[in-house]
Amino acid sequence: MSSPFILVVDDEPGIALLCKRLLTRAGYAVETFTSPREAVTFLTQHQIDLLLVDIRMPEVDGFEVIEHTQRLQPDAAVLIMTGHGTVETAIRALRQGVDGLILKPFDQGGELIESVKQAFADSQQKRDAARTQALRPLFSVTESLLSETRRERLPDLVVNAICDQMRCPHAAYYQQDASTASMELLASHGRTLLQGNTVNGLIKQVNESASPLLINLNGPGDPAIKAHLSDLELGAAILVPIVRSSFRIVLYAAREASESPFHDSDVEMFQILARQAAVAMENARLYAELTDYVRKVEDSQKALLQAEKMATAGRLSASIAHEVNNPLQSVQNCLHLAGREDLPPEKRKEYFDLARMELERLMLTVQRMLDFYRPGGTSQEQIDLVEVLKYVLNLMSKQINESRVIVECIFSENIPKIMAVSSQVQQVFINLILNAVDAMPGGGMLKISARPVKDGVEFLFQDNGPGIPLEKQSDIFEPFFSTKDRGTGLGLTVSYNIVTAHGGALELLAERTPGACFRLFLPAGGM
């Protein structure tokens, strides 16, 4: 870290030389002038940390030098020295924001050094107080930036925040294009730095250096850059870069030539604001990625659900054909008998009534089939889970009987109705029953029990098959994992996702043997 730089201005060469010797010995970098005008010229080209100036000088009054310093380098500390200390001098020094006063002659020891140290401390304290005061309204700005999750709106919000917090009429938001590496203007207010290639190069330079840049028209700095500010009728500008792995941004703030210049504390404030803007941009990016991921997962879940539904429907073809074929044969027989010419009118009416009843039963079966196949139907309704299970068992009766599986149902009384998507609950029941039937190819027993529990209903599906091997139990709900040779590996995954979406739970009770036992819980309130 470089030593603090002190500018000494005193028309007495002996005093100036004494100050330089004492301050240099104390570790400070020092430059002295006996001409106030030369000192002011030096201030326009070099950065200083403290001005040590005599008050009474014949050419230019010391307070005028202080005014120039505060205008050109407002963050520099100021210490005045005088051999004519009066109350009026002290009052004027306080009004001009001077950080300390020392009377001449001072000793050869530490009086001057202590005064310089105290001036630095007082100046820092004033800057800290001003910074704390300025930070307070920044909290509300940060909250508004972080609450915005739409990336396309953030550049405008950031520019507005710059104008408010930096008290400037000109601001801009530049972002590096990922494909061309050029800096593009995404949002602005007032005049921007896009009028010439050299200015564009300045933005690129700040972006590549990753360091902030402060330029005051009447202060130290690159003459070419100050010339550009003058051409744009600007008096001061700050550029702050934001470098992240996913984006690079340069923020810009500028004031008119007639307004007060920017201080070092303004740069610090701007950097804090820039960091908050970077966090907001990163949050918005992550939110967009998360939203996109969730949308893809939802689409995959829908496709998975539909794929398993169609696979299950294929396995139910025999049962469905049985349900359709029986009433069709009955209708055919009734119509054949009703067509006999020697049949009494009463008997013919009886056969027609039977045919109509069978057709209505057939229509109801087909309607239920359509409800099962239909991909939509995700609206919740109040359903009786026991009735839904009985319907599923009736639908699968032929397949269950042909597999020589006996189903025993034990239902408690007062099982409450729940809010759920009926077709999805049907699919969960079908998948659990089919898994149990497939696990017992030589026949067996499937015991289904249902009882009310706190906040919902609990079902247990217990078969007496070989059960699920211990090493495979942790994977049974994973997609495409199956213990059967021709299984899709999707049934339990889809069932688990359906139950979870309803706020319920589906789990394997490994301790319940023989066979496999699945516990299904569905809440009364639904999803």
Q: Would you state the pLDDT for residue 486?
A: 47
Could you give the CA distance from residue 482 to residue 494 in angstroms, rounded to a whole number? 13
Please state the rounded mean pLDDT for residues 291-319. Answer: 70
Same domain, 39 and 62: yes
Could you give the CA distance from residue 250 to residue 203 in angstroms, rounded to a whole number? 7
Same domain, 167 and 125: no
Contact (Cβ atoms closer than 8 angstroms) between residue 29 and residue 6: yes
Pairing of strands 183-189, 170-176: antiparallel
What ranges in 50-167 are assigned the alpha helix state H?
62-72, 87-95, 111-147, 154-166
Please state the rounded mean pLDDT for residues 232-241. Answer: 89
Dump pLDDT digits (tens) for 364-376.
666 655 554 454 4
| Max Cα-Cα span within the chain | 147
Please say which residue of 333, 356, 374 terminates a domain: 374
Q: What is the DSSP string of 481-495?
A: --SSTT--S-HHHHH
Please say which residue of 131, 159, 190 terminates a domain: 131
Q: Is the pLDDT of residue 487 over 50?
A: no
Contact (Cβ atoms closer than 8 angstroms) between residue 102 and residue 112: yes
Q: Would you state the pLDDT for residue 447?
A: 95
Please state the rounded mean pLDDT for residues 76-86. Answer: 81
What's the Cα-to-Cα distance from 279 to each of 166, 204, 247, 274, 287, rounded to whole Å?
Answer: 19, 22, 12, 9, 12
Q: Would you state the pLDDT for residue 130?
A: 66
User: Which has the higher per-residue pLDDT, 209 or 363?
Assistant: 209
- Flag whether 190 is in a domain: yes
Same domain, 263 and 163: yes
**To 5 degrees, how large is the angle CA 124–CA 129–CA 132?**
125
- Flag whether 139 is in a domain: no
Same domain, 254 and 107: no
Instruction: Give the chain's mean pLDDT.
Output: 81
- Flag whether 308 is in a domain: no
Residue 520 binned pLDDT confidence (cut-offs 50, 70, 90): very high
Same domain, 460 and 509: yes
Q: In what order do the strands lie in the sheet with 5-9?
A: 29-33, 5-9, 50-54, 77-82, 100-103
Could you give the CA distance from residue 352 to residue 334 in angstroms, rounded to a whole number? 7
* Token couple for 174: 């530049």
Q: Is the pLDDT of residue 488 over 50?
A: no
- Flag whether 301 is in a domain: no
Q: Would you state the pLDDT for residue 146?
A: 65
Same domain, 240 and 325: no
Compute how many other C-beta atoms are within 10 angstroms of the C-beta atom of residue 359: 15
Q: What is the CATH number of the domain that holds 226?
A: 3.30.450.40
Could you give the CA distance from residue 272 to residue 266 in angstroms, rounded to a whole number? 10
Q: Would you state the pLDDT for residue 305?
A: 67
Same domain, 45 and 153: no
Dump pLDDT digits (tens) for 16-27.
998 999 999 999
Q: What is the CATH number of the domain that holds 81?
A: 3.40.50.2300
Residues with Cβ within 8 Å of 363's Cβ and at least 6 positions away in sequence, in order, are: none
Please say which residue of 266, 287, 308 terminates a domain: 287
- Flag whether 298 is in a domain: no
Q: Would you state the pLDDT for residue 482?
A: 58
Classify residue 430 by burial, with Cβ atoms within 10 Å: 0-12, 13-18, 19+: buried
Please state the rounded mean pLDDT for residues 420-430. Answer: 87
Q: What is the DSSP letter of 457?
A: E
User: Which has the higher per-residue pLDDT, 419 or 139?
Assistant: 419
Global confidence as pTM: 0.42
Please state the rounded mean pLDDT for residues 247-261. Answer: 88
Same domain, 83 and 215: no
Could you give the CA distance from residue 279 to residue 204 in angstroms, rounded to a whole number? 22
Dump pLDDT digits (tens) for 127-171.
777 666 655 555 556 666 667 677 788 888 888 888 888 889 999
Same domain, 102 and 222: no
Which residues form the domain of 485? 376-527
- Flag whether 491 is in a domain: yes
Q: Would you state the pLDDT for residue 277?
A: 83
- Flag whether 215 is in a domain: yes
Residue 501 binned pLDDT confidence (cut-offs 50, 70, 90): confident
- Flag whether 338 is in a domain: yes
Same domain, 368 and 390: no
Domain count across the chain: 4
Q: Is the pLDDT of residue 109 over 80?
A: no
Same domain, 163 and 31: no
Same domain, 503 and 410: yes
